[in-house]
Structure 1
């Protein structure tokens, strides 16, 4: 309960919209209640009708009203259900529309701050999952729980008005279903769902990194290790799902059992209270049958409560967007041409993280220097690159170009950094337009010269539309190596002094990889290059190598020095060369 209050104490995403659309919300809850009330009334009426008809009354008039009521409640239940579904989804869609607008406005206004305080995966999760989670919060938790509690109160008050002792028994028996089981579901099954989500998130992250480095696993002869590595999280998820299945079975069984006890209680009470005359006996079956339609909403209460931990995390995360008021750094221009990139004792961890991703790293990079960053997945290489370009701000230490903070140079970042990564950003437009993104003021002739420099002139000019050829979405008109060379042509036009190569050859075959690396380093020989890679193919192109392990540099030097002095480097180098 304390955590629930904390979640909504400063909420700007859920409660304001509950108040904004409270009229429609009340209508949804009313229709939901009437759906199950009509079901209960139908069973109540049917119990009376069956009992009355079994007495073989002398005139149809004795059962005429129950027959009409049976038809009325029979029609009312699906009608209320249909209208309730339409209304609830209309209500949720209105709220989701407001959510998306609010989310996009938050991202637009504070894009830089958000990018610096959240990992890319977090932003994607907010956009893809969290809004859907909040939508499900209403449909699968709020509505069923409120409707179930309304039915609970209606039954307890209704029976209690006839007999307070039986009403108290209803309060206790049904209270197990609507209060104790939901709390137990949050404490047990809800925790398992949260654990499953965490395992899946980590599994997807690791699997993506490992698949991108699949060539390394194959080259090193560790294919079976790669397969076995994926089995552990799959088994953990399967085990959690089995526990979840067993728990739901036992919870459903307990609900059914409590409903059985409730039915028996009503049956005993009705048998003692309504058997003085034959006509009164008709009410015995009516009371006993009326409870059964409430089984479904009572089950939904526990299921909705068990999903609350997942929804709470989404609510807290989107609310965090409104709290992340990072004061933007005053932007300036670089005072002179690039002379030096200084990384001074930099440490960084993400706001919701429990460990430092980058730890006390220092280095200096000079113009024209070529640096390779190596290390296994998850060691902090990608985070280090984000720090270099200013996407993230160090917790301690500083990153400067010519003595000026990188954070203050974001307005001129495109003139400082060129980036060639694993998946080049190619858009569904022409070759000419895609390459022109490197320099929107470039002439057609300059673009053609850049394309020729990367070795694509003959290919492009052999196509029917030549430079007006549509590359298609994500550049799928061309092969992986051709897409990378188009992106390289864009970098040539950009003419930035610092080039970041973020594993640009990870999805290429060895022959294409070698050709691309040779061309990249030949064309960019006068540039400063920071190259992140998983393995050592093409390592002789660089001046110095830095191995990252757990956020630190644990091996560094020129390729020649490391080959002589470090057995680990020598083993990896020989392995990459097939020795």
Structure 2
């Protein structure tokens, strides 16, 4: 019953199902080789048991044991040979499949990265890559292949025993059927939910860790590092508790499984003792042969219960992959460009990622007038960076709307760059010349215009002193320049771009206090006639803005001018004192 979700996902699957037909011959070959691996294992023990018994009965002619000796050698060689060929074939097939799955995943994400970002976070991508693709690989290696092979062996054993005794064949039919059905079903019922919960917790850890590590500075500067550690430890403790329950159940199930096969060996011994009774070797030689042949079958059935309990997470992995967009998202219909005044209006905006259904922002309403300077504060995960992405149109609100002038921001597509510029926390400089890096803001800028903006950001003397001036090569990622200098080059790009609105996304993180204050002063002086939206985690330089907005857990908690908050909010005063080292 719990396997139904997997069958439903496979029925409508467009990720894994196509490989069944594409590699049908390889799949069949792997199954045949798998069957012969276990057949040779049981046949080896069968012949060995017969050979030992026959030899102990003092055969009158060596030729009576010659054939069993040859067969024993043949099956002894055949078992590792078939096992190697089966592993080679099945793993080669699965690795081909998973490599193409990863390629398809990359291509799917690449089709429209902006809209994928709307629905998924970095942790979700890691979950897709690290968990889901690997689960689909295990779906074949640990579930489909072993299950099909086990059922083939099951049918073969029942038919084979039927040649000697129809009633014992019926016993084997019921006994093996119980092992094939009861243990996997028991595992699915008891451990299936735990296995799925383990996967969910791992995916949540991927997401939380990437979010928190990328915003670790927020936790540190807000003096909440211990809280971050505690949250992570709580998540890990829950995961470890689930894994402990999984191991405990697995140990019990494996013990009972081994016990069941031990009982099967005893049952076979009792049957052969009554069926093959003779003197001086006679029919009694078959007793050891049949009993020993039972033991290699353990390997054929042992992995089925563990594989069955994972069917829920296989279904979940298929569901996550099949929910990805199959085709590139079409461009939106072009709308009229925004008209002055270029006010930003955030109207009852809520946002949640599709993958987690977690509401990051809840009913936010903010009006930002043209030329106004605001600071948006909040700890990591509070939603401030998400709000910045919404303001630029990189994300679309789940509810509500964001207008620039009279135009919906998310409909502007690439033209939004003409209105809103961004200086990131870590500005990237490309491994080309200084002038090419600065001209990213305006490809048609003249050399004089480049020198003018470099002078405005206090870099003209430093660049002029370089051996090749503007033609000096910038090392990859801008390692030639300090953190403050990289931010000033990013500001030079924005000045060339000349957008009316600039988002400063924590541009002073990691800078020493003197450099930080100097950079803030430069930003405010050179962008004084523009709308500034400053995303920050602490309050240094906060008196330069017109309004401060605090976001906590996706809700607008506090809003007002620095002076007003200084007078009315004890929390604001406390945060400011912390930033000042008081």
TM-score by length of 2: 0.89
Against the structure 1 CA distance between its residues 494 and 252, is the aligned structure 2 distance closer, same or farther, given a 3 Å change threshold? farther
After TM superposition, the structure 1 stretch with the greater mean CA deviation from structure 2, 372-381 or 451-460, is 451-460
Once residues 75 and 302 of structure 1 are traced to their aligned partners in structure 2, the CA distance between those partners, rounded to angstroms, is 29
Against the structure 1 CA distance between its residues 499 and 140, is the aligned structure 2 distance closer, same or farther, given a 3 Å change threshold? farther
Against the structure 1 CA distance between its residues 405 and 219, is the aligned structure 2 distance closer, same or farther, given a 3 Å change threshold? closer
Once residues 430 and 334 of structure 1 are traced to their aligned partners in structure 2, the CA distance between those partners, rounded to angstroms, is 34
Q: What residue number does 2:230 align with?
A: 228
Structure 1 residues without counterparts, runs of 5 or longer: none
**Conservation of the 8 A alpha-carbon contact between 1:113 and 1:325:** no
Once residues 367 and 417 of structure 1 are traced to their aligned partners in structure 2, the CA distance between those partners, rounded to angstroms, is 12
Partner of 1:437, secondary structure, is helix
Deviation at 1:450, TM superposition (A): 4.2
**Conservation of the 8 A alpha-carbon contact between 2:338 and 2:404:** no
Once residues 161 and 58 of structure 1 are traced to their aligned partners in structure 2, the CA distance between those partners, rounded to angstroms, is 28
Partner of 2:350, secondary structure, is strand
1:56 to 2:96 alignment: no
Deviation at 1:316, TM superposition (A): 0.7
**Conservation of the 8 A alpha-carbon contact between 1:173 and 1:258:** no
Aligned residues: 578
Structure 2 residues without counterparts, runs of 5 or longer: none
1:492 to 2:495 alignment: yes
**Conservation of the 8 A alpha-carbon contact between 2:6 and 2:312:** no
1:35-434 pair list within 5 angstroms: 35-211=37-213, 214=216, 223-277=225-279, 278-322=281-325, 328-332=331-335, 334-336=337-339, 339-434=342-437
Once residues 558 and 20 of structure 1 are traced to their aligned partners in structure 2, the CA distance between those partners, rounded to angstroms, is 65
After TM superposition, the structure 1 stretch with the greater mean CA deviation from structure 2, 433-442 or 557-566, is 433-442
Once residues 66 and 110 of structure 2 are traced to their aligned partners in structure 1, the CA distance between those partners, rounded to angstroms, is 66
Once residues 562 and 171 of structure 2 are traced to their aligned partners in structure 1, the CA distance between those partners, rounded to angstroms, is 80
Once residues 152 and 543 of structure 2 are traced to their aligned partners in structure 1, the CA distance between those partners, rounded to angstroms, is 73
After TM superposition, the structure 1 stretch with the greater mean CA deviation from structure 2, 343-352 or 23-32, is 343-352
Against the structure 1 CA distance between its residues 314 and 522, is the aligned structure 2 distance closer, same or farther, given a 3 Å change threshold? farther
Deviation at 1:559, TM superposition (A): 1.1
Deviation at 1:216, TM superposition (A): 5.7
Q: Deviations over 1:418-449 (max 9, x none)?
A: 22233434445555444443333344554455
Against the structure 1 CA distance between its residues 223 and 350, is the aligned structure 2 distance closer, same or farther, given a 3 Å change threshold? closer
Against the structure 1 CA distance between its residues 517 and 80, is the aligned structure 2 distance closer, same or farther, given a 3 Å change threshold? farther
**Conservation of the 8 A alpha-carbon contact between 1:174 and 1:258:** no
Against the structure 1 CA distance between its residues 109 and 217, is the aligned structure 2 distance closer, same or farther, given a 3 Å change threshold? closer
Against the structure 1 CA distance between its residues 48 and 302, is the aligned structure 2 distance closer, same or farther, given a 3 Å change threshold? same
After TM superposition, the structure 1 stretch with the greater mean CA deviation from structure 2, 181-190 or 250-259, is 181-190
Q: Over aligned residue pairs, what C-alpha RMSD do you find?
A: 2.9
Against the structure 1 CA distance between its residues 221 and 275, is the aligned structure 2 distance closer, same or farther, given a 3 Å change threshold? same
**Conservation of the 8 A alpha-carbon contact between 2:124 and 2:355:** no
After TM superposition, the structure 1 stretch with the greater mean CA deviation from structure 2, 174-183 or 64-73, is 174-183
Against the structure 1 CA distance between its residues 175 and 217, is the aligned structure 2 distance closer, same or farther, given a 3 Å change threshold? same
**Conservation of the 8 A alpha-carbon contact between 2:375 and 2:535:** yes
**Conservation of the 8 A alpha-carbon contact between 1:331 and 1:411:** no
Deviation at 1:298, TM superposition (A): 1.7
Q: What residue number does 1:544 align with?
A: 547
Deviation at 1:273, TM superposition (A): 1.0
Partner of 1:506, secondary structure, is coil
Partner of 1:321, secondary structure, is coil
**Conservation of the 8 A alpha-carbon contact between 2:425 and 2:508:** yes
TM-score by length of 1: 0.90
Once residues 201 and 180 of structure 1 are traced to their aligned partners in structure 2, the CA distance between those partners, rounded to angstroms, is 31
Q: Deviations over 1:375-417 (max 9, x none)?
A: 2333322332232222322233211112111122013122222
Once residues 475 and 403 of structure 1 are traced to their aligned partners in structure 2, the CA distance between those partners, rounded to angstroms, is 39
Once residues 62 and 446 of structure 1 are traced to their aligned partners in structure 2, the CA distance between those partners, rounded to angstroms, is 101
Partner of 1:536, secondary structure, is coil
Deviation at 1:491, TM superposition (A): 2.9
Once residues 459 and 170 of structure 1 are traced to their aligned partners in structure 2, the CA distance between those partners, rounded to angstroms, is 87
Once residues 369 and 494 of structure 1 are traced to their aligned partners in structure 2, the CA distance between those partners, rounded to angstroms, is 19
Against the structure 1 CA distance between its residues 515 and 496, is the aligned structure 2 distance closer, same or farther, given a 3 Å change threshold? same
**Conservation of the 8 A alpha-carbon contact between 1:96 and 1:135:** yes
Which of 527, 531, 536 is 2:534 aligned to? 531
